[in-house]
Amino acid sequence: MSQLSVDSITGRVSGSAPSLPNGAVVTGVVTATSFSGSLAATNLTGTIDDARLPATITSDITGNVTGNADTATLATNAQGLTGTPTIAISGVSDVGISTLTDLRLASIADKTTLVNGNTVTLSYNTGGGNVAICTTPSGPITLNVNGIPTTSDFDNRAISFAVIVQQGTTAYACSSVTLNGVAFGSNATVGVQTHISYTGGTVGTGNTSGYDVFNFTGINTVGSASTTTNYKLLSNVNGDYRLY
């Protein structure tokens, strides 16, 4: 075996690179300013120390990648995943809109809003919840729901709300509702004004010294969400849950 000790090897023609048609075996460090050519994963053997990789990889990676992603930054576009990847997420905070075809949950908890008085206000699009608890009413109760979407992606929807009333010695009903400012009242003229449709056509007055639950379901009978006048508001009262 011979040993060649030189500082520089060049091609026979000035400025050209030498060719190594049978390959080269290097046991030390190879330093290059650039790499040109195709390097298939099947042609790689051994281990690539991840400490030698740059902090940011901007090109595409194909094949299988194993290990941990300790840090991640936001990308303009999220690329699709293929195969059967497993993604573990400890928690998601989503303040926007999620549209799902089929949603299956093991358990769910509704947010409630506590109200002291006769006026209940819920903000639909800012996380106000769909359930209010009214603890000390002194007269008929009004439910105001604001922020109901009016864009086309909210067409053909049904919305539900509930007002739980802790009654005192005098019982009061939730007899007025507004949806985005459109009034639905129990005393409105049927067929002329928007109205609340109670079971039997009358308002349940509630029960003294107990809890009553006033349930409301708005059904869009037109389809378009452009205005809440397209909703009909159905209601029922579940009551006389006693206080002991």
pTM comes to 0.60
d(CA 107, CA 10): 71
Q: How many residues does the chain have?
A: 244
What are the tens digits of pLDDT across the range 112-149? 999 999 999 999 988 888 999 999 888 889 999 999 99
What are the tens digits of pLDDT across the range 202-230? 455 667 778 889 999 999 999 999 999 89
With 0-12 / 13-18 / 19 or more C-beta atoms within 10 angstroms meaning exposed / middle / buried, residue 144 is middle
d(CA 110, CA 93): 16
* Tokens describing residue 158: 């049904």
Does residue 126 sit in helix, strand or coil?
Answer: helix
Please name the amino acid found at residue 13.
Answer: V
d(CA 108, CA 105): 7
Phi first, then psi: what are they for 126, rounded to 5°?
-125, 25
CB 158 within 8 A of CB 217: yes
Which run of H or of E encompasses 215?
A: strand 210-220
CB 165 within 8 A of CB 204: no
Share of the chain above pLDDT 70, in %: 66
What are the tens digits of pLDDT across the range 180-208? 999 887 666 655 556 666 544 445 566 77
